[in-house]
Amino acid sequence: MTVTNTSLNILVAGGAGYIGSVTTASLIEAGHNVTVIDNFSSGHSDAIHPDARYIQADIADSSAVDKICSQGIDFAMHFAAFIEVGISVREPSLFYDNNLVKSISLINKLAEHGVKGMVFSSTAAVYGYPEFVPLTEKARLAPINPYGQSKMMVETILKDFDRAYGFKFVSLRYFNAGGAHGFYGEDHDPESHLIPLIFRAIDTGIPLKVFGDDYDTVDGSCIRDYIHVRDLAQAHMCAVSYMLNGGSSDIFNLGTGTGYSVLEVIHTVERVTGREVPYEITERRPGDSPELVASPAKAHDVLNWKKDLSSLDDIVFSAWEWKQRFPHGYEK
């Protein structure tokens, strides 16, 4: 894959969070200068690479963004968002404010300062119940919760800003991120992602709930596409190279093209960690699609991105290593 050799100044919004922290570390390792903006609503100061500059501020704090941009920013990566789907259904106002309104404020500022472009963290949730799998970017957009809606709306706004102001963007629709990178890993509160929840069940002995075993899948449990967080970070660098080389604004799915069922993930964790996972089968959960798997073909062909580490074993192993290093997460 072609990743730029030029050292760039990159603003990482949400760089104290899971994917933003791993991407920050990867950018610094690749020789870029990173400035993180994060309000720590869910992030952790220990998650910020020591060589990154950081400002504790909201992305809608115009004077903070002005200050950062006036020192020269080439590209931005926008990870800052609320991510918990269930909360988005109960508190849509919070989600539309944080994920949509504040994104508009940030994008306006970036465009005003002549930042060359932005990589946006979108999600498979924009597709809702998929019409077909593997999902290509041409699939119908039909988000079923305010979280997915908020991401779809930002994509629409980015397209309009590109048309009107020439502000370039690449939107990356991640499927399920997993794994860790050295000191940087997944520590959400509340946690809703499968691999950390499996680890919690191992720790506490409280059975993990598997929502449904009667779907039309290999073993009846839901299938998802897991991508290593370091491969995601790499895709962000490919997206910047693509924009630097004159690529036009576009949207890409980021997954591996291979799905694993919940039970397959549980058994992989048991094999990789040597620990038994207590679990119980419960009712289906409303809103769960039986199968969500990406076609990564467009990201391969256009961004020249390829997964490197995204075998399920790699993902589980690195997440488990991080868990051994930080048994109770950051700052605990």
Q: Count the Cβ atoms, other than its own, within 10 Å of residue 297.
A: 14
Instruction: Tell me if residue 147 is catalytic.
Output: yes
- Of 3, 28, 40, 209, which lies in the binding site for ligand NAD, with binding defined by CB under 6 A? 40
DSSP 307: -
Q: Is 39 a residue that touches ligand NAD (CB under 6 A)?
A: yes
Pick between residue 39 and residue 256 the one whose CB is nearest to ligand NAD: 39
Upper half-sphere CA count for residue 320 (Cβ side, 13 Å): 18
Region from 169-177, 237-245, 265-273, 283-291 binding ligand NAD, contact rule CB under 6 A: 169-177
Q: Which of 18, 54, 127, 147 is catalytic?
A: 147
Q: Is 58 a residue that touches ligand NAD (CB under 6 A)?
A: yes
What type of residue is 105?
S
- Of 54, 95, 174, 326, which lies in the binding site for ligand NAD, with binding defined by CB under 6 A? 174
Are the C-beta atoms of residues 256 and 226 closer than 8 Å to each other? Answer: yes
Instruction: Tell me the closest approach of the beta carbon of residue 233 to ligand NAD, in angstroms.
Output: 11
Say how far apart CA 150 and CA 118 lie, in whole Å: 17
Q: Is 202 a residue that touches ligand NAD (CB under 6 A)?
A: no
Instruction: Tell me the closest approach of the beta carbon of residue 250 to ligand NAD, in angstroms.
Output: 17
- Phi, psi (rounded to 5 degrees) for 261: -80, 160
Upper half-sphere CA count for residue 113 (Cβ side, 13 Å): 24
Q: Is 6 a residue that touches ligand NAD (CB under 6 A)?
A: no
Q: Is 59 a residue that touches ligand NAD (CB under 6 A)?
A: yes
Q: Is 102 a residue that touches ligand NAD (CB under 6 A)?
A: yes
Instruction: Tell me the closest approach of the beta carbon of residue 27 to ligand NAD, in angstroms.
Output: 15
Torsional sign, CA 70, 184, 206, 225: positive
Say how far apart CA 188 and CA 78 lie, in whole Å: 18
Picking from 219, 211, 197, 195, the residue whose alpha carbon sits closest to that of residue 286 is 211
Pick between residue 94 and residue 214 the one whose CB is nearest to ligand NAD: 94
Site for ligand NAD in 274-293 (CB under 6 A): none
Say how far apart CA 115 and CA 138 lie, in whole Å: 29
Contacts of 108 (CB under 8 A, 6+ apart): none
Pick between residue 164 and residue 269 the one whose CB is nearest to ligand NAD: 269
Q: Which residues are catalytic?
A: 147
Q: Which residues bind ligand NAD (CB under 6 A)?
A: 14, 16-20, 38-43, 58-59, 79-81, 83, 98, 102, 121, 123, 174, 176-177, 188
